[in-house]
Structure 1
């Protein structure tokens, strides 16, 4: 060991005897910083991670390691010192190990000098240090492999340039084997094998934060193989003038056996998946406890089948192995109850036909282009989850998320596959009731209505398909035990009166067989139960299996089973615009929120005008309420009194989006009711210097001509809330890394009125935020510098989200009920319809008796202080600013619903999206500060290395001088 230490010190010191070491370190830092800030555009990317630093590392290390090792043995050859080394007391193993560890030490110093980069990034967001540690670990192991290759090449060449080029070629081949450029020519299975052999593909797995022993061993095996070859090469040089002997043959055989075992062990370890560690902070690549709890509830076998084509889009191909590994973990966690299969439908026509007819899985055409031509590839990228007769499918759109770098370059990653798969497992698990007969679990009768034109007006295919529909409906009606009724209507009868109603109520419009066909017809299908209406879309192919699948999917929307019902109240939607109109409706739309929630819950639209909430509702969600009257308020109040949960998103202002953005005061009608329950929504808005960006039109004067431009600016009205401003003790904010509250108002909770209730603050603005009563939304950067708005009053943190649990008293206690005025044909609305459970003919006799003045302790009110943060337009603005789908507000509401309904199985994994960790908002000056700070720290690091080198050199010189003086004294 003493000789080894001296050898490492000697070789390491050789780097610093010339500018070689500083050229290496300086180049390494300069290239990494250039890639990070310029090539990968860290600030524009807007994710608090340093993966861009490691994405280029496998390629960068090829050239750096080749440049470091090219002279290690070649210089010994050229200068004639190799023979001296081979006759020294140091063994060949010591010489090889000394040079190896000297090169690795130099690279370690280079990596240490990059540490200021992740440290500074950690100040700009909630960075996960797991992938950072994994990245550095992978870099060291990969560098070790490349250095071993470089030493092996150098021992066989006296020319440093030849050593450099040969090392680069060999290392590049190892990288190319598993690269996207090569695996695109092969199928999935072949691609996975190539990725197991590629140095770059193994590297990517570790940098994600998954340390797999198989990946580490792969690099160790390459290192050991080439070090063994290096050692053998030294021995051959020692034997050069000697005849071959049995010792030589035994050593050759020993090296061959060692190398063979090192290589074979990779294949032996390949199927073993237990030796891996997820070092991410939230274990995002490991199955959560919530997933395991659902798998433990399985009573029957669950099948998860992946449909993956050999040829797919090049951005999707690297995701297939990760999905395979994840699905295998489901099989392991299922303990025999989960079967996982992987199918290539193109090679199996029977499976492809079943996938299309039974499950609606069809290939998706992906447009791809290469150096020579553009082409369209039809491929499968789907997952099927089936349990009993229930099934769910996930396509590539359900599994991936996209972040735009620029107009032509995108990052594609798996969005949150565990959440999507587990959610589907939960759905099929809870839907499998009554031996597969869905009608046994329907709580209310369902009515099928077919809006069909007469046969003579329909195309021949649809006329025949109409008969198939009636046969299926009649068959299901006989099996439904009276729970399914069918009606056929022609919208064009009676002068088209029904057609006008369908167009205004549902947005249905006449169809045509082709773009230029003047003959129109009607062909729509709906299922109705109480106030819930579900449209049955036309299947892609007019066959019996596709029809039955579409019909049963619609029926499942009414199957309460374990699925909860959310009563959803939003402002009245504007009337549908004509098909030819260019302008979109100006009113707020909440379709994205509605679509997200409907994946797990039954959503019923609730206008509350009857003074009641639908009796089947498990929770009431009120978003952006506007001028609620007394009866609507009474419906909310009584739902709370009955022990329900009311979630409200409201503020004192609302933004409208027409030709320009305007902000106006909005009365929700809830002010007195909220004040009665100890909550006040301020008549101001919260502005915060810690905010999100917003595309704002800016006018610029050019020689008297006004140019109107759109700039991305930090916008104080978009309050950016991070985990340090969230209550981490509440499961409602579990998994959320960031939420933007748009144009929010402050919430004040009366402690006296709520002293016997549990009050949980959820969201707060920063302590530098302030309040403003102005409705001016256009920033003025000339007058107010970088903020664009004046800072008014005292700066302090303001409450923007709160949950209150406990017993409440009714706002209407001791007051006449608003429903006393609900007489038939009165001013409060049209007369009740027959059979409508939400309308009562005799309110004086029934409704007054049912009025509840005090709620049980299970009642909850959750309030978020914004009208706008959930509407489609605002979500679109935020998505545009972040260049990826922005789902955090909807995840917040989904978490709130799960918490209120005590269904928290998916809370821990809902917010694991890869692109859901944006940087803290920064001005341009702040971005420049952090960028140039890293440049300065890199230079400072090089200066410190030079200082240490100088001090060590002086001490070494002094020590040598002292030894010489001692020798002279003895002589």
Structure 2
């Protein structure tokens, strides 16, 4: 008979005994069932609408505690109870071989249990764009953590002869190791202490790996702790053969040896934590590592760049786990900077001088967070800011710039770093280019800028705004003193002198009196505007925080300064303020304006004067309405001079009306000009079975009455564009998904000296609708009636975004009369471009707000698309590839309820099938063993 290694024979014996017990199948089945239940029900996978398996791994550390305790509870305790432990102790083989054999058998069983959950990521990958990096990292973390728990369980089992006691003690010990690094325990300590405790917590290191970052320090921690408990297991068994009161050299050597092993493992973990060991980022797109564009930007540094993190010792529990992630990313900038990047981290509340500098020089103030523990609820003023400084230029990032919050269907908030590399790299770009342009903001301003504040008398203001007014007046005076005559300010009381100014600002900008929630009948004004001889820009006041004012002022002044920022001429429809309040008059684009203003200088263009600002590098026209000859001439001549025009237009628009949606004709005035250039937009709307969600008003009939409800539904007018419908184009190639709302078909003629490129298109399951049924209908039972494709109309794919580049001929033979026949450019150079998106509404505030309600997070897809388009047109591709690397932008496709139920049933069936295969394997294994024994015995 062949002899096999002891460890292998022990492992095979234990696996056979495990599967011979019905309790084993109960544990494996329960583990699979609980994992599936938590994934589909506990975390509401389909309602969550994110294409990842993060909910599975969020609960895995807790589930593994019970699974591993169940796997190990009888391993040594049963040997003690039946008296076979003495037989093991007198074997000539070393005890560690028996320990390793049992450890090996438990690892095998753990692996079989984890395999039962594999259908989950496979299912997600089949229906959506799954990032496999965090999934594989999650299974690696689960295996490593499970191995640690098994080692703990084996040690506990060797100390008792009762399996139930072994299981309970293992659960308690493993639970304590998990809790030591969790927020439940660390919230009682400062951030620095909490961070130290997280190094000892098994769950905190687990979450670090499952997000897709494999750190050697985390793996070494799991391996070393596993080895330590296995060593304790061997030591415990070794002691069983010792005389109780004796102290022999062998016993002393064993005690000293085990102490040295554990001490060395502790010291090794402390030493390796200090080493600059690179992390392996396995996420698609390297979400947690700086990319090549960022590294190329750092190579342009010629002076030291400072990146300083301001993090408080006590902060909000949801922000605390994000701080080490942000620290790690910032340190990568330091490593990539090769001596030109200096990184600092500080807690301003512990250093008064640094806090004063942060407040006064950089405008960084603590943010009040409400935190609660078991005993009380308190307000904590905490810092979570990043400063980027180069020479005299600086940019600050607050927590609202760095994080993304997604609200689940249960109301719980999921907080993650949004896209920190994009924000930090953009800040580095801003300070670098500003420094190159002279460093002084006012040196780039040609025409004097004046801040005009329409502010009520102090006696009329609430106390909070009185203090805010006094603070900003001091800041404005300092800015005026430093501007060398380029900046001034004045505050006007609109209600003075018969309220003439109040009527004027209402007629001109729609400024209405403000009210506080406490004093609804008390009215006052507090509006701030920046103006030069060309344009007026309203300055945001936000939450009336004095610490944020200087940053808002500088951001506003940059619109008037000549700097590295390219100038975008943005033309949006003029809407009466009273109509805008009720969602009428056409689409509004405040979110678009704010998004573009973060990267570029924005000029709000009035095309009716027949001219486009000579500073404009690109023109963006959204929802143009009844443009006259002067406006068309301005666009035509801008194109003829080799410019780029981005147009979002259609012959239809959608607006709210009496609680519902109404389709309106929308004449842009550009129809003939577009047709002259070979671009034809049809007056219909595209509907697609590959659709996104929308909180739509639903008309419900009951008897003779009609009621309007709001439901989040799959809406075919909101086209869900996925990777298979996104071109490998600089504009769209980095987008994982984008929702295009209320789109019309567009056709572009292919002509000589033109290059036509498709950017986006619908699926091949789309069709054309007349828009008469924008609102879904429901029957008397409340069931929605699906939209039906008109009979005889075939499904097809429609273009949703097209670029046209090359030579264009002018639409005009002569300029309009007001231009006196001068300065007509008849033909464009080959650099001229037109980018067409056939919708008035996909960038509108109404659509973006609706997407926020539907997804639970700020939806940036269309804004990222238009920002990428501008960067491509301006040949500024630094940020193109990292702009869309957020965590919540991988969403699930639209699915029928029956399809969702079928997928859930499939996963339960797959888990049962796997258990059935294991049972069949066990039966075949037993049958082979019986045949071998029979053959060896000669029976």
Q: Kindly report which structure 2 residues correspond to 1:656-695, keeping only aligned pairs within 5 A, or say none.
A: 656-659=655-658, 660-695=660-695
Residue number in structure 2 paired with 1:857:
830
How far does residue 280 in structure 1 lie from its aligned partner after superposition? 0.9
Residue number in structure 2 paired with 1:559:
561
Residue number in structure 1 paired with 2:26:
23
Partner SS, residue 800 of structure 2: strand
Counterpart pick for 2:272 among 269, 272, 284: 269
For 1:872 and 1:18, how far apart are their aligned partners in 2?
62
Are the counterparts in 2 of residues 438 and 559 from structure 1 also a CA contact under 8 Å?
yes
Q: Kindly report which structure 2 residues correspond to 1:465-614, keeping only aligned pairs within 5 A, or say none.
A: 472=478, 475-476=481-482, 479-480=484-485, 483-484=486-487, 495-509=498-512, 525-535=528-538, 551-576=553-578, 583=582, 586-614=585-613
Are the counterparts in 2 of residues 586 and 657 from structure 1 also a CA contact under 8 Å?
no
Matched, 1:632 2:631: yes
Deviates more, 1:49-58 or 1:784-793: 784-793
Q: Kindly report which structure 2 residues correspond to 1:723-742, keeping only aligned pairs within 5 A, or say none.
A: 723-727=723-727, 729-742=728-741
TM-score by length of 2: 0.93
How far does residue 547 in structure 1 lie from its aligned partner after superposition? 7.7
Matched, 1:961 2:907: no
Residue number in structure 2 paired with 1:826:
none
Question: CA-to-partner distance for each residue in 1:888-944, whole Å, 9 max, x for gaps?
Answer: 110111111111111111111111111111101111111111111111111111111
Matched, 1:924 2:897: yes
Residue number in structure 2 paired with 1:329:
332
How far does residue 706 in structure 1 lie from its aligned partner after superposition? 5.4
Are the counterparts in 2 of residues 504 and 576 from structure 1 also a CA contact under 8 Å?
no
Matched, 1:907 2:906: no
For 1:522 and 1:65, how far apart are their aligned partners in 2?
65
Are the counterparts in 2 of residues 117 and 934 from structure 1 also a CA contact under 8 Å?
yes
Partner SS, residue 934 of structure 1: helix
Structure 1 unaligned spans of 5+: 823-842
Specify whether residues 515 and 594 from structure 1 end up closer, same or farther in structure 2 by C-alpha distance, changes over 3 A only. Answer: same
Partner SS, residue 881 of structure 2: helix
TM-score by length of 1: 0.90
For 2:522 and 2:17, how far apart are their aligned partners in 1?
87
Question: CA-to-partner distance for each residue in 1:179-232, whole Å, 9 max, x for gaps?
Answer: 011111111111111111100000001111111111111100111000011111
Partner SS, residue 683 of structure 1: coil
Specify whether residues 789 and 166 from structure 1 end up closer, same or farther in structure 2 by C-alpha distance, changes over 3 A only. Answer: same
How far does residue 284 in structure 1 lie from its aligned partner after superposition? 0.8
For 1:650 and 1:511, how far apart are their aligned partners in 2?
35
How far does residue 711 in structure 1 lie from its aligned partner after superposition? 2.7
Q: How many correspondences in the alignment?
A: 929
Are the counterparts in 2 of residues 448 and 526 from structure 1 also a CA contact under 8 Å?
yes
Matched, 1:319 2:292: no
Q: Kindly report which structure 2 residues correspond to 1:887-898, keeping only aligned pairs within 5 A, or say none.
A: 887-898=860-871
Are the counterparts in 2 of residues 734 and 911 from structure 1 also a CA contact under 8 Å?
no
Matched, 1:622 2:624: no
Are the counterparts in 2 of residues 416 and 913 from structure 1 also a CA contact under 8 Å?
yes
Are the counterparts in 2 of residues 734 and 907 from structure 1 also a CA contact under 8 Å?
no
For 2:517 and 2:223, how far apart are their aligned partners in 1?
63
How far does residue 556 in structure 1 lie from its aligned partner after superposition? 2.7
How far does residue 700 in structure 1 lie from its aligned partner after superposition? 4.4
Residue number in structure 1 paired with 2:184:
181
Residue number in structure 2 paired with 1:866:
839
Are the counterparts in 2 of residues 780 and 788 from structure 1 also a CA contact under 8 Å?
no
Are the counterparts in 1 of residues 7 and 102 from structure 2 also a CA contact under 8 Å?
no
Are the counterparts in 1 of residues 437 and 563 from structure 2 also a CA contact under 8 Å?
no
For 1:485 and 1:636, how far apart are their aligned partners in 2?
34
Specify whether residues 324 and 559 from structure 1 end up closer, same or farther in structure 2 by C-alpha distance, changes over 3 A only. Answer: same
Question: CA-to-partner distance for each residue in 1:521-563, whole Å, 9 max, x for gaps?
Answer: 77765432343323456799999x9987665454333223110
Partner SS, residue 143 of structure 1: helix
For 1:224 and 1:542, how far apart are their aligned partners in 2?
54
Counterpart pick for 2:378 among 375, 380, 383: 375
Partner SS, residue 268 of structure 1: helix
Residue number in structure 2 paired with 1:936:
909
Partner SS, residue 267 of structure 1: helix
Residue number in structure 2 paired with 1:884:
857
Specify whether residues 489 and 937 from structure 1 end up closer, same or farther in structure 2 by C-alpha distance, changes over 3 A only. Answer: closer
Specify whether residues 898 and 75 from structure 1 end up closer, same or farther in structure 2 by C-alpha distance, changes over 3 A only. Answer: same
Partner SS, residue 52 of structure 2: coil
Deviates more, 1:67-76 or 1:319-328: 319-328
Specify whether residues 242 and 6 from structure 1 end up closer, same or farther in structure 2 by C-alpha distance, changes over 3 A only. Answer: farther
Counterpart pick for 2:54 among 44, 51, 56: 51
Specify whether residues 125 and 471 from structure 1 end up closer, same or farther in structure 2 by C-alpha distance, changes over 3 A only. Answer: closer
Deviates more, 1:200-209 or 1:588-597: 588-597
Deviates more, 1:392-401 or 1:509-518: 509-518
Matched, 1:208 2:207: no
Residue number in structure 1 paired with 2:364:
361
Q: Kindly report which structure 2 residues correspond to 1:100-249, keeping only aligned pairs within 5 A, or say none.
A: 100-240=103-243, 243-249=246-252
Q: Kindly report which structure 2 residues correspond to 1:276-291, keeping only aligned pairs within 5 A, or say none.
A: 276-291=279-294
Are the counterparts in 2 of residues 362 and 380 from structure 1 also a CA contact under 8 Å?
yes
For 1:703 and 1:535, how far apart are their aligned partners in 2?
50
Question: CA-to-partner distance for each residue in 1:119-174, whole Å, 9 max, x for gaps?
Answer: 01111210000000000000000000000000011111111111111111111111
Residue number in structure 2 paired with 1:946:
919
Specify whether residues 530 and 808 from structure 1 end up closer, same or farther in structure 2 by C-alpha distance, changes over 3 A only. Answer: farther
For 2:544 and 2:576, how far apart are their aligned partners in 1?
34
Partner SS, residue 269 of structure 2: helix
For 2:836 and 2:404, how far apart are their aligned partners in 1?
30
Specify whether residues 131 and 897 from structure 1 end up closer, same or farther in structure 2 by C-alpha distance, changes over 3 A only. Answer: same
For 1:303 and 1:504, how far apart are their aligned partners in 2?
47
Matched, 1:777 2:778: no
For 1:226 and 1:454, how far apart are their aligned partners in 2?
72
Deviates more, 1:768-777 or 1:444-453: 444-453
Are the counterparts in 2 of residues 358 and 549 from structure 1 also a CA contact under 8 Å?
no
For 1:353 and 1:916, how far apart are their aligned partners in 2?
39
